[in-house]
């Protein structure tokens, strides 16, 4: 059997077993075999992947499955070597580097040899650097990533219209919007893609009204656009006239089966001032939520960022920065940049002592705050934080409120008075009763026990503790 036929058999078998896993299909599909070389240690499968991120994702998520498939068919001792053939958008020259992986996975190396390209924007206002291949996927964003990628493969031809990407500031929403646009332009160059912020849409609409040029405005956003990508849509709640135009723009896109993707830092129902008819249309399609990445994903992001910046930084420092940077990805990269700048200015190597010195003021962020735990619990039980602080005694709210009190006492060790004050001025006896109630329920209520386990896992993922 030829090398290519052997690899096709291995590849098809693995893809067939993961036919419903869009992430496996996306990351593994571009993998190709270069050769099977013989040496003293046995055979070496040399595999080509298009980017460092592909190599990282495969080694972290798919390596065991690849070994099993090769072992089932090949039957000899072997190693796997990944060769990265990466071509930047502006250069036809590929940079190549490889990683050899034996049956033991501890020796995976992810050293990068390419430099970070300058930020470049297209005439569509798309950022060339924001692509799917430069987006680090984790449990916090894999659904939003998969939905965005699916749309970019078939814009307007699915039930994900509009796609509403929701998440706190600095979590990668803008990256995904641009990735959708760049992918669509690559696959369908004739598609007219318009990426802009809601604030710019608002300003252009107001300008069109003042100058009596609304025909020009409508032509730009309806007739001359096939894909609309709008960021920070929460700003639309500011003006009625702008919402009127946006409503008719949405209708026009839906009638033509043209794709709309929007991003916001809050759910449609929580956007102040947003008209109900727009809210319902935004909820028609698919809502994909992005949260702060867990500690493992933050480590992966930092490794990738460090490689792009050509930083010689060890695992201990990476883990430390990831552990204390839990509020946003921007904070994560900002802390890495602080350490990089200090080391360069002082001419010092990056060590754990240096990192702790530079980021000393961030050390207290390893613990969560009361409000952060309240937000986690509210999201989990699908209630509002304000409801947790209210006097409402509905069953769902009582369980959520008592759970939040229990987690705050356990993980933050706050006083009963402090906890009561954080929930609208409840007295300490209310807090005591809540703690006793949860202790009892942990023994007798398997559903609540599972809820608390899930919440504590999320707390660990955020704090690393």
CA atoms in the 13 A half-sphere facing the CB of 448: 20
Q: 325, 331, 334: which is closest to 294 by C-alpha?
A: 325
Partner residues linked to 288 by β-bridges: 165
Q: What is the DSSP string of 222-269?
A: IIT-SEEEEE-GGGGGG-HHHHHHHHHHHHHHHHHT-EEEEEESS-GG
How confident is the model over 369-398, as pLDDT tens digits?
Answer: 888 899 889 988 888 888 899 988 888 899
Q: What pLDDT does residue 367 have?
A: 60
Rounded Cα distance between 176 and 172, Å, is 6
Q: Is the pLDDT of residue 300 over 80?
A: yes
**Measured between alpha carbons, how far is 367 from 326 in angstroms, rounded to an integer?**
10
Helix axes 446-463, 428-444, angle to 10 degrees: 110
CA distance 334 to 365: 15
Q: How far apart are CA 310 and CA 115, in angstroms?
A: 7
Query: Nearest CA to 261 among 135, 389, 165, 376?
Result: 165
Spatial separation of the C-alpha atoms in residues 85 and 91, rounded to whole Å: 13
Q: Write out pLDDT tens, residues 17-72.
A: 877 666 677 778 888 999 888 866 678 888 998 877 677 778 767 777 888 788 88
Residue 134 has a CB neighbour count (10 Å cut-off) of: 16
CB 79 within 8 A of CB 43: yes
pLDDT at 195: 93
Please report which confidence band the pLDDT of residue 120 belongs to, taking 50, 70 and 90 as the band edges.
Answer: very low
| Average pLDDT score over residue span 82-93 | 53
Cβ neighbours around 316 below 10 Å, total: 11
pLDDT over 90 at 347, yes or no: no
The phi, psi pair for 93, rounded to 5°, reads: -85, 130
Match 């830092």 to its residue by tokens: 265
Note the pLDDT of residue 161: 87
**Ranges assigned E (strand) in 115-214:** 163-166, 193-197
In angstroms, the CA 22 to CA 1 distance is 30
Ramachandran angles phi, psi of 307, nearest 5°: -65, -40
Give the residue-averaged pLDDT of 114-134. Answer: 63
* Domains defined along the chain, listed by start: 3-107 (3.30.300.180), 132-289 (3.40.50.300), 295-365 (1.10.8.60), 370-463 (1.10.1750.10)
Task: Extract the tokens encoding 339.
Answer: 């350490």
| 134 DSSP assignment | G
pLDDT at residue 182 in the model: 94
Bridge partners (DSSP) listed for residue 230: 196, 262
- On the question of pLDDT at 180 being above 90, the answer is yes
Strands (E), 55-186: 78-87, 94-101, 163-166
pLDDT digits over 313-342, tens only?
899 999 999 888 877 788 888 899 889 888
Backbone φ and ψ for 284, nearest 5 degrees, come out as -65, -40
Asked whether residue 108 carries a pLDDT value surpassing 50, the answer given is: no
Biggest alpha carbon–alpha carbon distance for the chain: 78
Count of residues in the chain: 465
Backbone phi, psi, residue 200, to 5°: -65, -40
**Which of 147, 158, 143, 150 is closest to 258 using CA atoms?**
158
């Amino acid at each position: 059997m030829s090398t290519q036929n052997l690899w096709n058999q291995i590849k098809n078998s693995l893809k067939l077993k993961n036919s419903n896993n869009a992430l496996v299909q996306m990351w593994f599909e571009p993998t190709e075999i270069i050769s099977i070389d013989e040496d003293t240690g046995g055979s070496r499968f040399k595999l080509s992947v298009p980017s460092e991120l592909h190599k990282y994702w495969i080694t972290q998520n798919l390596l065991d499955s690849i070994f099993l498939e090769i072992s089932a068919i090949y039957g000899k001792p072997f190693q796997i070597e990944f060769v990265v053939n990466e071509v930047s958008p502006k250069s036809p020259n590929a940079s190549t580097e490889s990683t050899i992986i034996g049956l033991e996975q501890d020796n995976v190396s992810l050293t990068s040899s390419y430099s970070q390209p300058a930020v470049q924007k297209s005439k569509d206002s798309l950022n060339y650097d924001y692509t799917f291949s430069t987006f680090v996927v984790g449990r916090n964003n894999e659904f939003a990533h998969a939905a965005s990628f699916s749309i970019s493969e078939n814009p307007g031809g699915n039930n994900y219209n509009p796609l509403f990407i929701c998440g706190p500031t600095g979590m990668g929403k803008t990256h995904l919007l641009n990735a959708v646009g760049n992918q669509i332009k690559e696959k369908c160059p004739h598609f007219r893609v318009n990426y802009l912020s809601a604030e710019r849409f608002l300003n252009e609409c107001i300008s069109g009204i003042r100058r009596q040029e609304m025909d020009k405005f409508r032509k730009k956003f309806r007739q001359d656009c096939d894909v609309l990508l709008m960021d920070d849509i929460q700003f639309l709640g500011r003006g009625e006239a702008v919402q009127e135009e946006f409503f008719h723009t949405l209708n026009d896109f839906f009638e033509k089966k043209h794709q709309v993707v929007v991003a916001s830092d809050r759910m449609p129902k929580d956007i102040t001032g947003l008209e109900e008819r727009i809210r319902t249309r935004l909820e028609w399609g698919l809502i994909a939520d992005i949260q702060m990445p867990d500690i493992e994903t933050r480590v992966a992001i930092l490794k990738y960022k460090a490689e792009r910046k050509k930083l010689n930084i060890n695992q201990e420092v990476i883990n430390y920065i990831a552990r204390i940077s839990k509020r946003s990805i921007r904070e994560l990269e900002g802390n890495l940049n602080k350490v990089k700048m200090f080391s360069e200015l002082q001419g010092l190597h990056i060590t754990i002592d240096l990192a702790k010195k530079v980021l000393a003021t961030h050390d207290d962020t390893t613990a969560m705050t009361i409000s952060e735990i309240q937000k986690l619990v509210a999201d989990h039980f699908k209630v509002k934080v304000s409801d947790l602080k209210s006097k409402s005694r509905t069953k769902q709210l009582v369980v959520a409120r008592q759970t939040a009190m229990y987690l705050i006492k356990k993980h933050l060790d706050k006083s009963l008075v402090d906890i009561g004050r954080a929930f609208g001025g409840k007295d300490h006896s209310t807090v005591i009763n809540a703690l006793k109630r949860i202790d009892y329920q942990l023994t007798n209520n398997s559903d609540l026990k599972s809820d608390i386990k899930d919440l504590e896992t999320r707390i660990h993922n955020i704090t690393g503790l």
